[in-house]
Amino acid sequence: MARGERRWNGWGFEGESVSLPATAVRWLEARVGRGAPLSAVPETTVTVPPPRPLPPFSSAVASDAATRLRHACGQSFLDLLALRSGDVAAFPDAVLFPTSAEAIVADLGRAAEAGVAVVVRGGGTSVVGGVSLQRSDRPSVVLSLDRLRGLVALDPVSRLATFRAGTTGPEVEAALAGEKLRLGHEPQSFELSTVGGWVATRSAGQRSTGVGKIEELVAGVELAGAGGVWRLPPQPASAAGPELRRLVVGSEGRLGVITAVTLRVRPLPQHENGVTVLFPTWEEGMAACRAILQGGLPVEVVRLSDEEETSFGQSLLELSMPARVVSRWLLSRRRFRRACALLLGWAGSAEEVAEAESRCATVWRAHSGLGVGRSGWRRWRAERFRHPYLRDHLLEAGWGVDTLETAATWSGLAALYASVRRALAAAGEALGVPVAVLCHLSHAYRDGASLYFTFLWPLEPGREREQWQQCKGAATRAILEARGTLSHHHGVGCLHAPYLEREVGRQGLAVLRATAAALDPAGCLNRGVLLADGEPEGRE
């Protein structure tokens, strides 16, 4: 897909948008009412202060107001509030555009000498404050990897491909397609996010159940810091001490700048297909997913929506008359009045896909599932990268919306699911507003799975930030108390950093701080990201 100009205060590309159909508006009004629209100020009205003095850098430097504004925030709810209101907390004093690892080493050395803070930016899609500028007395620059892109090397025999860190998802797959290969890593930010960002945040793609999370795809990595370039070459396996590649994966820019990554690729599948399965209850759907994974059945995509997400998803569809008739017939059956929809997808040869689907069908039927065809799967495949655009329209229509994701073992998922839902409902009651909570299970493993929550509420003028803080804080505490992971694939960023010790322990935090101090002794890189310097935005 061709790259267009990015929106400065919302998701994606200029000219692209998704609107709410009337059925979805009615769905939201029935559950949470209607709030005050959050309008957006024009870009030209945002006041960008003059840049502070900086040392000379090796890379190309941009210090104009528009470039600095467009690199000041990521895509968190707080970022969107700041951009739409024009009340941006901080701006970089310049944006650097390096074209090599050596240029980055030089730039970081000069930043360290001059006490300049550096924020590393790939696609800028972080929803947890990973690329958001923080107020500081220190001058700061954003180090953009936008010009560090492309395929560097391909080893088709070993099925290894090395990409520069700023390469986007479509560019990765386009470079591999000519060799009849693919990576298969497709996060929802696929069109915008980059190889370096995926690795830095331990990203998961929507095919992760089949192809693995990004850490399973990383064979080698190159990291640039003020002290030089650190190269960990691709190796199939090694017993030479702890796996340092895994230390770099998920380091979120605190240990250095990821400049190149060698990834494990695979042949393009000859065929792929998928199906939608309805379950009478969330519990039966979860049991079927667990049986599929623990039974070792081949599957690339597993995505089970709970009752509320299934219902909201239906409200977003503009169905043809035959589809409406079928939908009404299904919903009229007592067993499926509060159905949960499961999307299953497979890839391989036509025979392999047919065999995998047949084996999975045996499992879903044993758990009261009903296969309802391929149209839902095909629609999701066609529209999945457009779903984030809906957030901007919801804000404009008066509804706050955010997401959070976690993971737990199969034995802990039910309690985690219930705990988060209760916490968000209680936060809404304390605020005096109803909160709708949607959830889906995805990124499944033999021992557990990820839960991805979306929560929506009516916006109140002047209270948008408070509303979000109360909901986010309550949900995060509920996740940790129920032994869920702080994040499954969004990373830590600034928003989750103050909670990290509760997952990795005091010793784990000490190891990370010591490593960051060893690789970035001047403390210039991504301050406040991963390792906290203050209180979390979501904490009361």
Judge whether 105 lies within some domain: no
What is the pLDDT at residue 4?
A: 76
Shared domain for 182 and 276, answered yes or no, is no
Give the span between the Cα atoms of 103 and 58, in whole angstroms.
6
Shared domain for 425 and 393, answered yes or no, is yes
What is the pLDDT at residue 331?
A: 56
Q: How many helices (H) and strands (E) does the chain have?
A: 18, 18
Tokens 């550096």 belong to which residue? 118
Judge whether 17 lies within some domain: no
- Pairing verdict, β 94-97 and 140-144: parallel
Shared domain for 375 and 406, answered yes or no, is no
Shared domain for 439 and 473, answered yes or no, is yes
Going from the C-alpha of 364 to that of each of 300, 367, 440, the distances in angstroms are 16, 5, 17
What is the pLDDT at residue 329?
A: 54
Mind listing the pLDDT tens digit for each residue in 366-425? Answer: 999 999 999 999 999 999 999 999 999 999 999 999 999 999 999 999 999 999 999 999
Shared domain for 366 and 435, answered yes or no, is no
Please name the amino acid found at residue 368: S
Question: Which of 332, 360, 386 is a domain's end point?
Answer: 386
CATH of the domain at 219: 3.30.465.10
Helix (H/G/I), strand (E/B), else coil: 518:
helix
CATH of the domain at 486: 3.30.300.330
Shared domain for 320 and 366, answered yes or no, is yes
Give the span between the Cα atoms of 343 and 450, in whole angstroms.
15
Tokens 């986007």 belong to which residue? 168
The distance from CA 24 to its chain's CA centroid, rounded to whole angstroms, is: 24
Q: Tell me the residue length of the chain.
A: 540
The tokens of 314 are what? 């239906």
CA quadruple 275, 12, 167, 298: dihedral, nearest 10: -10
Beta bridge partners of 13: 6
Question: Which of 386, 421, 442 is a domain's end point?
Answer: 386
Q: Which residues of the chain have pLDDT under 70?
A: 1-3, 318-334, 534-540
Mind listing the pLDDT tens digit for each residue in 300-321? Answer: 999 999 999 999 999 998 644 4
Please name the amino acid found at residue 25: V
CATH of the domain at 301: 3.30.70.3450
Judge whether 97 lies within some domain: no
Shared domain for 358 and 449, answered yes or no, is no
What is the pLDDT at residue 540?
A: 35
Shared domain for 278 and 382, answered yes or no, is yes
Question: Which of 352, 370, 386 is a domain's end point?
Answer: 386
Concatenated DSSP letters for 285-351? HHHHHHHHHHTT---SEEEEE-HHHHHHHHHH----HHHHHHHHHHHHSGGGTT-EEEEEEEEESHH
Write the DSSP symbol of residue 439.
Answer: E
Shared domain for 228 and 194, answered yes or no, is yes
pTM: 0.95
What is the pLDDT at residue 533?
A: 77
Specify the number of domains making up the chain: 3
Closest residue by Cα to residue 95 from 52, 140, 148: 140
Judge whether 7 lies within some domain: no
Closest residue by Cα to residue 353 from 362, 361, 345: 345
Domain around 290? 271-386
Tell me the backbone φ, ψ of residue 65, rounded to 5 degrees. -60, -40
